Amino acid sequence: MSTEMQRRAFLAAGAVSIPSIALARTGQVGMEADRGMQFHKLMGQSGDHLKSMRRYLRDLEAPGARAEAAFLANQVTILLAQCVMVADQESIPVQSVEKYDGDKERFVTDMQIKLMSAVSASNALGRQLLLGNDEEAISIYGDLRRERNEGHDEFISEDD
């Protein structure tokens, strides 16, 4: 098997299994690991990867571009899945105080739902890239960026 095929196989397997692994918690050990993760750092890293991906999506026929974009999509998937676990670190932002009326649990649940939608989208993006469905991949990338902006408008404090 060629190196390129091995990389594709790894990416494909990771795109399917890693989000589940990243979300898996086992008792106290899983909760201890959560304490080391910081929501803002994870979100920042996922945003950086999403921005980096744009360069590869401009020319998916360039050598290695598709594999690199799929790798970055997989990284975004992992980071967003980790954000789901530590979403309770966030406070209700000023622009959403009225909507949530102090209900932090509902705020966190809504944010987790939005994050899980983004996890699914980034996972689908990686899959479409590996399948060679360029138009679909570019469309999903655009949807993912819009979803990111909408999430920031509702869930991220304007001071952050």
Q: What CATH number does residue 142 fall under?
A: 1.20.1420
- C-alpha span between 16 and 148 (Å, rounded): 22
- C-alpha span between 114 and 155 (Å, rounded): 9
The whole domain housing 70 covers 3-155
pLDDT of residue 129: 97
Residues 6+ apart with CB under 8 A from 69: 53, 56, 57, 60, 129, 137
Is 141 inside a domain boundary? Answer: yes
Q: Which contacts qualify for 40-44: CB closer than 8 Å, 24 or more apart?
A: 40/160, 42/79, 42/80, 42/82, 42/83, 42/86, 43/79, 43/83, 43/156
Is 160 inside a domain boundary? Answer: no
pTM > 0.85: yes or no: no
- Confirm if 130 and 15 have CB atoms less than 8 A apart: yes
The number of distinct structural domains making up the chain is 1
Identify residue 138 by its one-letter amino acid code. I
Tens digit of pLDDT at every position of the chain (160 positions): 566 665 665 565 565 555 554 555 544 444 444 557 899 999 999 999 999 999 999 999 999 999 999 999 999 999 999 999 999 999 999 989 999 999 999 999 999 999 999 999 999 999 999 999 999 999 999 999 999 988 888 887 755 5
